[in-house]
Amino acid sequence: MRLVGSAITTAILILGFAAIAQQTGPGGSQPPAGSLPSGSPPANGAQPQVDESALRYFASQGDTRRVNAEIARLRALYPNWTPPSDLSQLSAGGSAPPDPLLERLWNLYREDRIAEVRAAIAERQAADTNWKPPEELVTALETVEARRRLVNASDSGQWQTVLSVATESPSLLTCTNVDVLWRVAEAFARTDQPIRTRDVYTYLLTNCANPAERLATLQKALTLLPEQQVADLLQFERRTGESPDDFSSIRDELARRRVERASLDSKMTASAEDLAAVERLIRNTNEAGPVLILGWYNYHHGNPARALELFKTALDRNGGAKAAEGYAMSLRALERLTDAEAFAYEWRERAPENMKIYLDVATALLSQDPAPRLDARVVARIVPVVTAQRFPDGAQALGWYSYNTQQIRTARDWFRTALGWRPEDEPSAYGLALSTQRLNERAAFNAVVSQWRGRSERIADLADGTNPGSGRRSAPVQPRAEMETAPRPAAARQVAVERIEVEQPLARTEEGVRLRQTQARSTLGRGCAMTRNPTGLSGDAALTRGWCLMEINRPLEAVAAFDQAIATGSGRTREEAAYGKSLAYLRKNLTSEAAIAAAEAPQTRSRQVELGASILTQRALAAYRDKRYVETLLALSERARLVPEQNDLLLIRGWSYFNLGRYKDAEQVFRAVQRTGHSEEASVGLNAIQEATDQVSQ
């Protein structure tokens, strides 16, 4: 017990629990009958402090059977423990007859049935008010209860409780309870006292002997302490003795982390030892992790060939999307663009990073100088991806590729598309100017020039005739793979009423709306899923609720919430709510309601346009579905006054004309669509006209 006492003092001092030290002076937990453990405390506390209280009690009662059972139990728990030599003295001195209740209490205690010990003590005290439980049993009980509370509190993240229990029960802070020490260390870390955390680990590594626990201590330190402090703790590694430490895995982990940091930063170099450690990890495990790290390190430190090998290994080890990204990037760095494009294409859907590298690689492939000879299939598969992703660099690259392969109309359309996606893209504007000039489209050319003259010298030069086309771009080239596919907005298939419904409304605003909805949702959690009446909510709360309901796609309930917001909210809230309400109605295809809602609060100009356009789109589509073609055309024309008519709606217009028998108008529209690249859909229309007019003329 002296040993326990001294260890506690050490722990207290080290942990800085100064206040407790006074409470638990040397006399704090005096063992019974002047017992001292055999031998002196081993240096470094190689022997854990074992709770011998039950053992001593059985010995004092002369109960050899239980003494032996307890010795066996403690030996199993603590292999290095030796029973105290003074047990026989205790036994000899134990002249008092054994108390069966005490025996039962100690048994319950031994079996960890703490509540029942408490109950039995209370029962005995109720029967005999003078009876007091033995002090060491009370202490033992309190210690176990404290440990339970500490563990439970730590499992529930109640770190203050962990620390206060540790303060009140310093007898827990010994090598017998390494788990408790770890939890206390974590509590310090979680309450921003890393120095104390380090002190606990230092105490543990200085005093506790179990090599597995020592190693685990460093593993815990890795998760809680800055690396430098972990590195400092390595000095406590015991290289000699019966059971020496092996902290090499910790060293390797530190090395791995250093290389990992350097792997993404070309200005940071890793030491040869650290790199060797990671190489060793790669050899000794089957995991992709270290391979990826070394791959990125090589990639960012000028060795793409080695990086490529490593990423290949990582792929073989199921390194997944990250490995694929690295592999594609290495191929690109090695200028193997054709391979890179083919490889990246396969992985593009796996993660946003994979899509990004695919688009980059494809763009690089198209933009090579001189213009490459590309397989038509390659170009054909690049086009839909660039279109779906609305990737302006890709569109521009397709523009140049078309231009350089003498497909000037296609080039013009791609440049236009690129500008649509990124209006400030000067190279695309230049491309557009060049193509329109080549096509002799004066009006279009002048439009570009007037827009860009002030911002782009080369476009101005083009207009002034000082630079009649860039030599490089307009150099005659061999016929290349024909561009079968010109730019084509994503939402165009057949007479795409369904598709338009799904994708069209408010494409530009969808993102803003989604942001609002997600924010509302994260504020309310599943809160808004519960059906209820929004009356009584404040304007802002109702608005949040409305967006939240939109997010879980319950637009009609959202309408009710937005109504409440319109009724009670401030100006800004009302505007927002009216906007939301319109969107909600649009989602239910209730266009008249949407139109009314839009008028409920003043909207900004751009929102007016958005909402108006969306409402008209839906109105047109609804009319078209109901075969009310005149109304369809009316709605489309109204819409066209607000925003340019996109190809899919042009097709609707064409078919409306067609169905009204206005074949000339229909033909005009379909031809226009055909010119912008919607050849398939337009051809269907044109053929239909052909057929219809043939029949008429026959």
Partner 1 sequence: MTRQVPRASDPKVDTIFGIHPMLNLFNSASFSAENRDPFSARCARRASLLPWLLAMISLVMTSMASSQSLSVQPLKIAGTISSADWEAYRSRFVEDSGRVVDTANGNISHSEGQGYGLLLALAASDRRSFEQILSFTFTELLIRDDGLAVWKWDPGAKPRVTDRNNATDGDLLIAYALAKAAEVWQEPRYTTAAQKIARAIGKNTLGRSGRSLVLLPGADGFGAGDRPDGPVVNLSYWVFEAFPVMAVLAPEYEWNRVWRDGVMLLQQSTAGRVRLPADWLSLQSGLQPKPADGFPPEFGYNSLRIPLYLLRAGMTDLEWLRALKQRWSAENEGVAVVNVVTGQIRERLTDQGYAILQAALACALEGTPVPAALRTFEPSLYYPSTLYLLAKSLLGEKYPQCVSSAAP
Instruction: Summarize as ranges the residues that interact with partner 1 (CB under 8 A).
Output: 113-116, 118-123, 125-126, 145, 148-149, 152-153, 155-161, 523-525, 527, 530, 532, 536-538, 540-541, 544-545
Nearer residue to partner 1 within complex by CB, 503 or 540: 540
CA distance 348 to 469: 36
Angle at 248 between CA 244 and CA 249, to 5 degrees: 120
Q: CA-CA distance, 558 to 517, in Å (whole number)?
A: 11
DSSP structural state of residue 40: P
- Measured from the CB atom, is 378 or 541 closer to partner 1? 541
- The type of residue at 66 is R
**Quick check: 563 and 575 in contact, CB under 8 A?**
no
Among residues 96 and 127, whose Cβ is nearest to partner 1? Answer: 127
Q: Minimum Å distance from CB 530 to partner 1?
A: 5
Minimal distance, residue 364 CB to partner 1, in Å: 48
In the bound complex, what is the minimum distance in angstroms from residue 125's beta carbon to partner 1? 8
In the complex, least distance from residue 182 CB atom to partner 1, rounded to whole angstroms: 16
Minimum gap (Å) between residue 526 Cβ and partner 1: 9
User: Cβ of residue 544: shortest distance to partner 1, in angstroms?
Assistant: 7
- Nearest residue (CB) to partner 1, 153 versus 429: 153
Quickly tell me which residue has 């593009």 as its tokens.
348
DSSP result, 549-602? HHHTT-HHHHHHHHHHHHHHS-HHHHHHHHHHHHHHHHHTT-HHHHHHHHTSS-
Residue 443 tokens, joined: 């009006």
Which C-beta is closer to partner 1: that of 26 or that of 527? 527
Q: What angle do CA 278, 282, 283 make, to 5 degrees?
A: 115
Shortest approach of partner 1 to residue 542 CB, angstroms?
9
Nearer to partner 1, 127 or 696 (CB): 127
In terms of CB distance, is 149 or 438 closer to partner 1?
A: 149
CB of 126 to partner 1, least distance (A): 5
Smaller CB separation from partner 1, 268 or 529 = 529
Residue closer to partner 1 by CB (options 116, 279) is 116
Phi, psi angle pair for 485, to nearest 5°: -120, 115
How far is it, in rounded angstroms, from Cα 401 to Cα 410?
10
The 3-state DSSP composition of the chain as helix, strand, coil percent (nearest 5) reads: 70, 0, 30
Do residues 81 and 96 make contact, with C-beta atoms less than 8 angstroms apart? no
Check residue 475 and report its DSSP letter: S
Query: How far, in Å, CA of 102 to CA of 421, rounded?
Result: 85
Min. distance of Cβ 553 from partner 1 in angstroms? 19
Nearer to partner 1, 161 or 313 (CB): 161
| Rounded least distance, CB 519 to partner 1, Å | 11
Smallest Cα–Cα separation from 679: which of 417, 443, 497, 410?
410
10 Å CB burial of residue 204 (0-12, 13-18, 19+) is: buried
Sign of CA dihedral 211, 217, 223, 226: negative
- Phi (first) and psi of residue 469, to 5 degrees: 85, 140
Q: Which is nearer to partner 1, 282 or 541 (CB)?
A: 541
- Find the shortest distance in angstroms from Cβ 133 to partner 1: 12
Phi and psi angles of residue 153, each rounded to the nearest 5 degrees, phi first: -65, -40
Q: Would you say 145 or 353 has its CB closer to partner 1? A: 145
Distance of alpha carbon 16 from alpha carbon 3, whole angstroms: 20
CB of 161 to partner 1, least distance (A): 5
Neighbour count for residue 133 (Cβ, 10 Å): 18
Cα-based torsion angle of the residue sequence 395, 397, 401, 402 in order, rounded to the nearest 10 degrees: 20
